[in-house]
Structure 1
């Protein structure tokens, strides 16, 4: 059987939840003859670019998708597919903007066109009318509709498409996150939090992740527990603003900004509780990782209840005061629990989902799908 090349379409291959999950699939599927190539929409190098090239993948750069360059972008996509007519599978992870890629792939006769929803809502801004239009176009061009959760599928796809949605769990390597006391002691010593009550958050510093409210919650917690420490992993445009707020509140000694980390399984070992009050999400990979590490998680009720796989997730409304969030967090069980069986039974072990995705992709590693495509 010849090697099958799958075109993954993303924003940039930095170390986010979606991108890390794609790399976990890539590392496994390349051993069974499935190769990933990537279209990215940033000119700078992504965190995973070197590894992708080392594994044999190719990276194609497109401009950022903006209302002012839609027509130019369409033309570039048409040119791309004309020059790379060998792709049988295009798997787009751009949420509503996937409709542009799906249209170009449809016009090019690509037989397998997957639009994959990873969000359940969006911040309303000046792009909202364009995003709404893009969502309406979604029903025309994909022939497979994937989503990380039922709610994410309902949000992106129209009513005529919803009964066709395939929920592909945001799976993780469960065994990698099992609680290990020596590792917990090592990482806590490294971070200087040996005897502290450690609250953690992992996420990009942007509006979606709600860091401003995280600091408000932690301020209330620190008034009640003097040994409390907040660990923030990630980077983003709002980091300077959040650092300024931490300084203004006099919390510099208790809040640690770690930047982007490559040791997320170890970092989760160091925590006592995970805090995640996002404005909106699909089904966050990091919450699956936190549960795999056996942590109790306090999250906003804007996140789908589907994420609660272990009964270790507590939901609170964003309309509640920061002090109420703090009280709820301090009531949570801060002992790590082995949740591996629950996650595997729920279908969130990447060993299982990799096998499913391999079978799905290989349906198109067959000459009957070759020239004409399926529309």
Structure 2
């Protein structure tokens, strides 16, 4: 658990469950750096840690031992292709209901990761009793088109508390003031863990071109992760420190969508990104790569897609066009269409709870 989108989706649902009816215990790797143990324990959940899957024999043994000890009714794995390992341990421990949940896809440029995923995908349906995905693309990637076509995949949307993301002028001013940005500056945000997948190094290249068009532009990063130091080094090397803010892992990420003028999302691959849903609830224009599934684009007028392999200049121009179009975020109800599409967390948590009770009965 590193404060990414998958963890946020799980915790969003967890907060809105009736904990008298359905309770979660969390099993996280011991190299996690953002386990919200206080939130979990407050409503009766427990947190267990196991060795990292990078030490696979120890990881599998620890999972099997833990499943035998706590004997859950359901084991729900959110590890994409890696779910084969905890679900095998769950089967060995005699757990009757085992759920594999696909949240993502892959990218050929990540050679090692993609090779591992390719090897594991054929085993994705051996150990689970139920298949779950956040969207059709993620479902097809892990479980195959036949499973989707035959209705064997249950969908749990990456839902959010939509009202928390509605545009707020006061929050906008306070946050922009806190980072020394005036109202007339163009602020681009990127929210997500620092990783090759999220492509933050390319975002810095885009910024370098953008400030030629909009000299007062600023790029704000929210998140932590493996590639953050490399991104910081690149910012320094290019002399862009004045134009970049690294805000780390924030508990008030919902408010930052009001502070931004655009969201930059140049991901190499995605399942169905939570950040894109949240931004649409705030009425925030989005410039995203064409490798983000179209399923995530609910409010089409807010979306600009750019070919992933396009030059930084083209990406920068797409961002600059948002400023020239003078998007007015105080006009329009952006939450209704998202609620109708299944992205209101209260509805989604209720549906998930009923599904758990149904399959466990």
2:311 aligned to which of 296, 321, 325:
321
Partner of 1:246: 235
Matched, 1:335 2:328: yes
Please, which moves more after superposition, 30-39 or 272-281?
A: 30-39
Matched, 1:98 2:87: no
Partner of 1:157: 143
Superposed CA deviations along residues 261-319 of structure 1, whole A, max 9, x for unmatched, are 11111111001111000111111101111111101100000110111100112111111
Give, in whole Å, the separation in 1 of the partners of 2:171 and 2:25. 35
RMSD (Å) for aligned C-alpha atoms = 1.8
Q: 1:321 to 1:254 in 2, by over 3 A?
A: same
Tell me the SS of whatever aligns to 1:153: helix
Matched, 1:108 2:101: no
Give, in whole Å, the separation in 2 of the partners of 1:150 and 1:365. 24
Tell me the SS of whatever aligns to 2:24: strand
Give, in whole Å, the separation in 1 of the partners of 2:52 and 2:143. 23
2:69 aligned to which of 58, 80, 83:
83
Superposed CA deviations along residues 309-365 of structure 1, whole A, max 9, x for unmatched, are 001121111111100111112112433253111101111111110110010112255
Give, in whole Å, the separation in 2 of the partners of 1:245 and 1:194. 25
Matched, 1:148 2:134: yes
Superposed CA deviations along residues 90-148 of structure 1, whole A, max 9, x for unmatched, are 11000111011222222333232111111121453345544323221111111211111
Give, in whole Å, the separation in 2 of the partners of 1:71 and 1:232. 36
2:170 aligned to which of 154, 170, 182:
182
Unpaired runs of 5+ residues, structure 1, are 1-11, 367-375
Matched, 1:308 2:307: no
TM-score normalised by the chain length of structure 2: 0.92
CA shift, 1:244, in A, is: 1.7
After superposition, residues 276-315 of structure 1 pair within 5 angstroms as 276-311=265-300, 312-315=302-305
TM-score normalised by the chain length of structure 1: 0.88
CA shift, 1:18, in A, is: 1.6
Q: 1:44 to 1:344 in 2, by over 3 A?
A: closer
Q: Does structure 1 conserve the Cα–Cα contact (< 8 Å) formed by 2:286 and 2:304?
A: yes
Tell me the SS of whatever aligns to 1:205: coil
CA shift, 1:43, in A, is: 4.2
Between the two proteins, the alignment pairs up a number of residues equal to 351
After superposition, residues 1-375 of structure 1 pair within 5 angstroms as 12=1, 14-43=2-31, 46-66=34-54, 69-85=55-71, 87-122=72-107, 124-126=110-112, 128-162=114-148, 163=150, 164-195=152-183, 196-311=185-300, 312-332=302-322, 333=325, 334-336=327-329, 337-364=332-359, 366=361
Give, in whole Å, the separation in 2 of the partners of 1:25 and 1:131. 27
Give, in whole Å, the separation in 1 of the partners of 2:110 and 2:264. 24
Partner of 1:9: none
Tell me the SS of whatever aligns to 1:341: helix
CA shift, 1:29, in A, is: 0.8
Q: Does structure 2 conserve the Cα–Cα contact (< 8 Å) formed by 1:139 and 1:161?
A: no
Partner of 1:7: none
